[in-house]
A and B are shown apart, each in its own frame.
Chain A
Amino acid sequence: MLDWPKLRRLFITSLSLQALTIGLLAALCAKAVWTVAPATFTAFDWTAYDTWLRHRAPTAVSPSLTIVARDPASEERFGTLLDRALLAQVITVAHEAGAAAIGVDHRLDHASPAQLGGAASDALLIEAVHTAAPVVFVHDPDSILRSDAAILGHVVVSTDPDHVARQIPLLTMVEAQTVPAFGSILYDLSQQQASPATKSMVTERAAPTLVNPVGNGSLAVLPTIPLSSVWEAIQHHDDEKLDGWFKGKVVVILPNPMTQSPWLLPTGQSVSGMVAHIHLLNSLLTDNRLCQVGSVGRYVTTVLLGSIVTWCLLQFRGSISLLFAGCAIAIYGALMMTMLVGLHLVLPVALPLTAALFVLLSTTAWTHLTTGQRMVLLERDMLRVQQDAAAVREALILRENRAEALQEDLEAARSAAAQSAGQQEEQARTTEALRSQIAETQGQEQTARQQLEQLERQLHDLRAASTEAGAVGDALLDQLRNECRQLGIITQDPTLLRMFRDVKKGAKSPLTVLLLGEPGTGKELFAKAVHRLSSRGSKTFIAVNMAAISPELFESELFGHMKGSFTGATADRRGYFELANHGTIFLDEIGDLRLDHQSKLLRVLQEQSFYRVGATTPTTVDVRIVAATNRDLQRGVSEGWFREDLYFRLKGLVFRLPPLRERAHDIPIIAEACLAEIATQMGRAVPKLSNDALRVLTEHDWPGNVRELRHALERAVALSDGPVLTKNSFYSEAVSTNEEQRATPAAALPDSASDAAVLTCLRQHGFDMQVTAKTLGWDRSTVTQRLKGLCFQALVESNGDQAKAAAAIAGDPSHLRTVELKLRDYHGHLMSVIEPFGTADEALHDCKRRFKNLPDRHFVSVAHLVRQYFRQNSDLSPSRTTTLKPS
């Protein structure tokens, strides 16, 4: 079974595959188009060849070729029709003079009339042919005279659809009979005369051969011996002359007057078939053949050129791509001419160039068609990689914990060994086993870490690719830019503009839109854009900041309440959802919503109905949901602080708004727009930004994005008097911010002795033990012991509530899941250690040995937990219910 989605993905992502396919399709289209006008096609295809034939330097005539032709004197002497007896005499003389091969432009299709010797002349000719065997004649299906010594060859020339004769078929079928070409037979005979083992040309390859004419291809350009001169020499027994003409030569006798010239050569000359065959013979004798690419070769060349041009167009953007494509076509043209002039090899012209033209058109269309598709695929990839990264991160934590637990077991075993000499051997074995387990687990951890790094690299690459991918035409960009400006979004960034284009498309659909991005990146602007671009544009737009709503009033605010439903509810009140009926509701900072509120919101999203506080009947609304957050909801799902079902419900259309530092070239225009607005508000003339000021603004990181930029500008305008804002107007701001930023790491450096410092550092590094240890310059196990101690302390403080303890340690909810896993593991390990013991003291004794690296202040917590465990056990025995609250 073919995996179509996989194939589609492979196709969309592979440029080479696309290039090859487009090249192939273009070749087929070109072929299809040219079938409509075959004559024009052929003429175009051979243009270069024909021009070259007309203008090249003259080619040589073989010295071993003798042509005996009629002349006025022979016309006068022998009349228009030649007596075959005379022809027989010329053949015999040529043979006796030692001709290598003899060919006669004569057909044996008729009996000699009585005035030309009748049957006697025919018999003389047959005798002469027998003597000079073999002699080549022109084939005719109705041959009357038969002789084993006569070889019949055709004088046909292939005509192309443009009525130009360029090729001679070496074999042709005449009435179910295969007939070889006149010229090629003579060549074969001459070669076999020189070396009898020579293979026949016809059997070698019977494909049509290009005629390589001497001069313009007429008979006049070939040296001929007049028939009357030959006759004179025969009459005067001038053997010397005859030897000079015929000895070792290929003799072609032309006894008939050349009346018809039905074949038009590429040189523009009309010739008879016999003359074309003589030119073929000459090119064979002088080994000056012309070759052409076969039909398969033509298509391969076409597909190749088409693919290369496509690749150039897909790989590069804009006019550069056209330049490269043009270069590829020009290189092909140069190659074609070089092959023709240098190697006498004719390459196709019309088909590749037409295919290239098709490629130019189709590739542009294809680029527009696939950009969106590629973006979608990249986003999917990013999501998948993120999920993988989260899973690996969890696995890493588990491995770390396992390694640490094993290390502790090892320590315990060591101390046990020291105590019990008798058990030393056994302990050593156990030690060895544990060591190997540690090594294995550490190896697994290392592998998981590498996987994580690799996945993060992929994610980075994909992000980079997604920002580069897809080019939208300049005109389209301009249009998008204008539309953005109308909606208050000021940008020139192609990525953002493309996103806007997608927003525009998505706005039409009823899908829920999720906007992600740092604070100040314009999430609300985009939410408004979604509203205005949708069919609900004329209805209400309600923006609700979820973080700003008090948890107690959450339901009342969002869903409304009935009069008297609670203290202070003096009248019926409609919630935001009801207010936004038929319109759009923008739920900002959705990531800060509490889990219980998340479930309530989820119900509204699922059912489009809710109960007002105190109401008994549900209220149904038609609302378009647009949500936004600056937090990573995916991570929230994996760490447990965001409901997965709500996440998927919100994730209809997801747009990630880039931070301002990633589109620094937008800063000048945003600044300009803001300045105009600020100046208007302040009633002042619009100040200009100096180049220095602009550079300072562009180089700044803007963690608060556009909002921060606007504030900076407001400050600068308020504090400056002149019409120009200089670098100094912003200096204090930028410097102070930078200094703050620089100061942050130094300030964050923890006091190595303080637990708070260690905790801060752990939080900063996402509870990654190795990285934290590296930052603090400690051993990893030391950091682990500190965290373990802190976890036990937190458990004691939270009175055994693991969730609460984890929240206290994690600080940031994004680390909650990690900390929770670690905490549960540490606690589980402690319980497994103390479980076998009967009393708290015994257990504590063992714990002291086991957790000897734990700081004493934290061991107090351990002791507290152990004692609490045994106390609970003794209280609830035999049910042994744990007092610890389940998480």
Chain B
Amino acid sequence: MSRRLLLVTILLTALISQPPVHPSFAQSPDDQTPFAPPSESPPPSIDESHPSEFTSRELEDAATMLANLRGNVRLFPDHSEARLKLAQGLYRIGDLDAAIDECRVAIKLNPNDAKAHLQLGVILMAKQDWRAAASVLKEAVRLDPAMTHAHYSLGSVQYSLGNVKAAIQSYRQALELQPHFPDARYRLALLLKLTNRDQEAVQLMEDAAQGGISQAQFFLGNAYKSGQGVEKDLSLAIFWWTTAVAFGHQPAADALSKLRRQALSSDHKDRRRQDALGAFHAYRDKLWKGFPNYSRTDDSETLGTRLLKENRADYAVSVLLQESYALSDVAQLELAKLYETGWGQHLAPFDKKILTCFETTAGEGFVPAKTILARIYGKGIGMPQDLPKAKSALKGLSKLEMKPVLDELGLQ
């Protein structure tokens, strides 16, 4: 488990610095597939190929490309490959009807072309013509039973048609052909979850989560929180949610926010508050296991402060952020310093991510974050001075907690 955790942490930290991947595209297991099938909620028509998202330059390029493709079709009217390329071009600019027509002509020219069927099936899926898509994809599978994407797409279509069993079957076949296919695992896990097979679902979900599917990470976190199919472990739920948040998954962020609110609630006798606080603490402790070379010297030390001391520029700030989000006051104070001063070449001062962390946790009622934020607003660190905003940031604190900050800001 710890090894797996380490791997995931490394992967996570590597990804944090990269822009988040759009979740609407499944990770392709190989690059052979000419066409990435849509896998998640938004249909392909609203991905980057959507006309509204094109710049005028790109539109021009697309028009030129389409003209070339049409030229090819005119030169070789009986060449199915040319027609499929034109169909792809048309699909990319959102002309689904024309793309379907071209695909159909290509299939007529070469009826045994499984790829043509798959392409037509995907376009029909984009049109939400599930029945037509199902029959075309079934034909594609018949022509080439080893075509993973055809099975995967057929699974999605079958589910949309309400055939859950057939959908599960299709995903299982896709996984048999291509075991390292996290999207298929995630999809299969979802369907198993919907059919009350939680244990198998969690297993597949974990595989998909480790494969980097943020939705899978979110659901895995949920499973750990509620104990569905696994032993209940709130700290692991926090871990997987945090991982999903790193991929920009908003529901996971909301789930974490909710848990933080529970941990920071004013009802000290609430069992849920105790559980949440304990879970955050356990989560922070578990972070040390990702760095077995380091061990804690005293209780006040966090992994982030240690990495900072060790000049581990690769991980220090990201770990500090994770600890701050996991309600570590030490990590927040350290981050406050970094926000103000920056860290040489590794971090510029007034980093937005750090400020967002303070704002988020302060909004959720974390006292250290509130005081830090009041200082930032009151002193105008990295922004114009705004005393009323500083005062409002301190709302909800006791006089004793407010006094040092107010003294420092000279507001008393």
Contact = CB atoms under 8 A, between A and B. Distances in A.
Interface string A104-142: 000001110111111111111011001100000000001
Contacts of A142: 162
B222 A127 contact: yes
A127 B226 contact: yes
A109 B42 CA distance: 22
A116 B128 CA distance: 12
B159 A145 contact: no
B160 interface: yes
A111 B219 contact: no
A117 B41 contact: yes
A126 B41 contact: no
B36 to A, nearest CB: 15
Contacts of B215: 120
Contacts of A335: none
Highest count of chain A CB atoms <10 Å: which of B128, B164, B194: B194
A114 B164 CA distance: 15
Interface residues of B, number: 26
B43 interface: yes
Contacts of A121: 41
Contact of B194 (A109, A115, A122): A122
Highest count of chain B CB atoms <10 Å: which of A111, A142, A148: A111
Interface in B149-198: 156, 159-162, 164, 187, 190-191, 193-196
A146 interface: yes
B228 A115 contact: no
B160 A113 contact: yes
B222 A118 contact: no
B94 interface: no
A448 B191 CA distance: 102
Contacts of A144: 162, 164, 194
Given A110-B162, A111-B162, A131-B226, A119 B196 contact: no
Nearest to A114: B41
A120 B195 contact: no
A240 to B, nearest CB: 12
Contacts of A111: 159-162, 164
Nearest to A125: B194
B195 to A, nearest CB: 6
A123 B229 CA distance: 14
A237 interface: yes
A85 B254 CA distance: 13
Contact of B40 (A109, A114, A145): A114
Given A116-B41, A119-B190, A127-B226, A85 B251 contact: yes
A147 interface: yes
Nearest to A116: B41
Nearest to B228: A130
Contacts of B281: none
B43 A114 contact: yes
Nearest to A93: B258
A250 to B, nearest CB: 24
Contacts of B121: none
Contacts of A110: 162
B79 interface: no
Given A111-B164, A146-B195, A118 B159 contact: yes
Contact of A237 (B40, B187, B191, B261): B261
Nearest to B219: A123
B378 interface: no
B226 A119 contact: no
B211 interface: no
Interface string A175-208: 0000000000000000000000000000000000
Interface string B29-60: 00000000010111100000000000000000
Contacts of A119: 159, 187, 190-191, 194
Interface residues of A, number: 27
A113 B190 contact: no
A122 B194 CA distance: 7
A115 B160 CA distance: 11
Interface string A146-159: 11100000000000
Contacts of B160: 111, 113-114, 118
A126 B193 contact: yes
Interface string B196-219: 100000000000000000010001
A146 B196 CA distance: 7
A147 B196 contact: yes
Contacts of A148: 196
B159 A130 contact: no
Contacts of A120: 40-41, 190, 215, 219
A122 B261 CA distance: 26
A142 B228 CA distance: 25
Contacts of A124: 251
B40 A118 contact: yes
Contact of B226 (A114, A115, A130, A147): A130
A111 B165 CA distance: 12
Contacts of A146: 194-196
Nearest to A109: B162
Given A127-B226, A144-B164, A118 B194 contact: no
B372 to A, nearest CB: 21
Given A118-B159, A120-B190, A120-B215, A127 B40 contact: no
A352 to B, nearest CB: 52
B242 to A, nearest CB: 19
Contacts of B190: 119-120, 122-123
Interface string A780-801: 0000000000000000000000
Contacts of B191: 119
A145 to B, nearest CB: 5
A118 B41 contact: yes
Nearest to B262: A96
A127 B227 CA distance: 11
A77 B190 CA distance: 27
A841 B261 CA distance: 146
A124 B159 CA distance: 16
Nearest to B227: A130
A235 to B, nearest CB: 10
Contacts of B194: 119, 122-123, 126, 144-146
A115 B43 contact: yes
Highest count of chain B CB atoms <10 Å: which of A115, A120, A122, A144: A120
A462 B128 CA distance: 96
Nearest to A148: B196
A114 B196 contact: no
19 contacts: A114-B40, A114-B43, A114-B156, A114-B160, A115-B41, A116-B41, A118-B40, A118-B160, A120-B40, A120-B41, A120-B190, A120-B219, A121-B41, A122-B194, A123-B194, A124-B251, A130-B226, A146-B196, A147-B196
Given A114-B41, A122-B190, 11 more contacts: A110-B162, A111-B159, A113-B128, A114-B156, A115-B42, A118-B40, A121-B41, A123-B193, A144-B162, A144-B194, A146-B194
Interface of B: 38, 40-43, 128, 156, 159-162, 164, 187, 190-191, 193-196, 215, 219, 222, 226, 228, 251, 261
Interface of A: 85, 109-111, 113-124, 126-127, 130-131, 142, 144-148, 237
Question: Which 4 A/B pairs are nearest by Cβ-Cβ distance?
Answer: A119-B190, A123-B190, A123-B193, A118-B41
